[in-house]
Chain A
Amino acid sequence: MSHLQELMQSLRTFEKENFKNCMSLVIKNHEPQEIIDQIFTPGLDETRNRYYQGEIAIPELLLSMQLLMDLLSHLDIKQVGRKRGDNKIVLGVIEGDPHDLGKNIIKRMYECYGFQVYDLGKNVFINNFAEKVRETKSDIVGISTMMSTTVSKVSQAIELIKRENSSVNVIVGGAFITAAVAEDIGADGYAESAAVVIEETDKILSKTK
């Protein structure tokens, strides 16, 4: 088995120590672009798909992303082509909601896929989203809420963002948000989970390009 195959295998079986050992050998013997094309991108896609299929749970999804980000941090990023290096996204949990765990997982997913993420944290006042978009010239805003009673605040934040810049897209998610609710409150997209957030974001971005 080659070092590349062994690295991929240890990612699949979540063997952290083995992954780190193989990683050193792979970095020494392979070009960064080859590592991205043969390990990072397929590894990330495969892990995300396994989570989507219910084969693995969130801790293993997080562990895989952690290992892959560790791998990426050892590569000279300037030498490798990242698909979405220019996409900027503002993320936050809406005002009144302290639940940021889901948002943190989504943030890690975006980072893995090369998005530039501006994380506003939790309990974010509605005007802060629009302000951050203005400041960073971001393409997209991700808003989450885990509570039913804060959905109206999400709607107000979307209205404010769109009023300032109608070309900015907003993607929403959270326990009480469905595709129908997302459409109803004026969002451009809805992500049911971390497994689909990248596809949904790509779908929105492709419509606007």
Chain B
Amino acid sequence: MASVIDFTISLDISDILRSLGYANAEKSSHETMHKIEEIENEFSNRFQCRSIYRIVDFSLKNNIELLTKTGCIESPKIVSLSQKAKRLLIGLVTLYNFDKTECDDLLYGYILHGIGTAAIGKAVDLLLNRVELETGLHTSLPFSPGYCDWDMTSGQEFILDSVDPSVINVNVVPQSFIMLPVHTISFVSLMGTEEMDRNPCHFCNMKKCHTRRR
């Protein structure tokens, strides 16, 4: 059975700046800080997130597919990490009351997106931390369809067959699988008794990325 949990997220300025790409020596301008403050005030720094998740058993087939009752994941990367795992969390988290119609101010749009990304990322972390406490199992980095070697179409189908997006008011555009509200994450996380790597940069080849974690 799927569980639904709501979160109210408050962001530190460091979360926001990291999400906007201030990972190294760059300093943010007065104008940028002013716009961040403007958006934070608009939402009183309380960002509303809703999540739905399900924890399921899985088996491996020929070491290339991970099978559950609702479908399968074809991703060598996820399968290789699943060797240490016992169960699979399938989740969907959305940030609601946040999306705006498109605006011409690219800077405002970029900062708004950065804040939304930081909030939704924090909500996923909170969900995983809560599940860890409840189950006593460690969780892996969340994997979303379309990233690493996991095909987006089959990945989205797998997740949306497992958790009903309409329960948390998420709409899915047919064919493209684009989710609305825009700040919505679909993901799976492996769960096991051993601690798992939660640094996304260890799975990414973009060595010069400005948000790369040390």
Contacts and interface: CB of A to CB of B under 8 A. Distances in A.
A57 B107 CA distance: 12
Nearest to B176: A123
Nearest to A101: B113
B26 A54 contact: yes
B1 interface: no
B111 interface: yes
A63 B152 CA distance: 34
B106 A15 contact: no
Contacts of B148: 148
A19 to B, nearest CB: 10
Shortest beta-carbon contacts, A-B, top 3 = A14-B29, A147-B146, A57-B26
B150 A149 contact: yes
Given A96-B152, A149-B150, A58 B30 contact: no
A119 to B, nearest CB: 12
Interface of A: 13-16, 54-60, 62-63, 65-66, 95-98, 101, 104-105, 108, 123, 147-150, 175, 178, 192
B183 to A, nearest CB: 11
A150 B146 contact: yes
Nearest to A55: B26
Given A148-B149, A150-B146, A104 B24 contact: no
A60 B177 CA distance: 33
A69 to B, nearest CB: 10
Nearest to A147: B146
Contacts, number: 88
Contacts of B21: 57-59
24 contacts: A14-B31, A16-B31, A54-B26, A54-B210, A56-B26, A57-B21, A58-B20, A59-B35, A59-B111, A60-B26, A60-B32, A63-B32, A65-B106, A66-B105, A95-B176, A96-B152, A97-B146, A101-B113, A105-B106, A123-B176, A148-B148, A148-B149, A149-B152, A150-B146
Contacts of A14: 29-32
B147 A147 contact: yes
A84 B93 CA distance: 45
B153 A96 contact: yes
Nearest to A122: B178
Given A101-B113, A108-B106, A59 B28 contact: yes
A137 to B, nearest CB: 27
Interface residues of B, number: 36
Given A96-B153, A148-B147, A59 B107 contact: yes
Given A60-B26, A149-B145, 8 more contacts: A14-B31, A58-B20, A58-B21, A62-B107, A63-B32, A66-B106, A96-B177, A148-B148
A34 B109 CA distance: 32
A62 B146 contact: no
A2 B166 CA distance: 61
Interface string B128-151: 000000000000000001111111
B152 A60 contact: no
Given A96-B176, A149-B151, A59 B110 contact: yes
Contact of B107 (A13, A66, A96, A149): A66
A173 B48 CA distance: 33
Nearest to A60: B29
A124 to B, nearest CB: 11
B29 A63 contact: yes
Contacts of A105: 106, 110
A142 B20 CA distance: 24
Given A101-B113, A150-B146, A57 B106 contact: no
Given A14-B29, A62-B106, A175-B206, A57 B178 contact: no
Contact of B152 (A54, A108, A147): A147
A178 B206 CA distance: 9
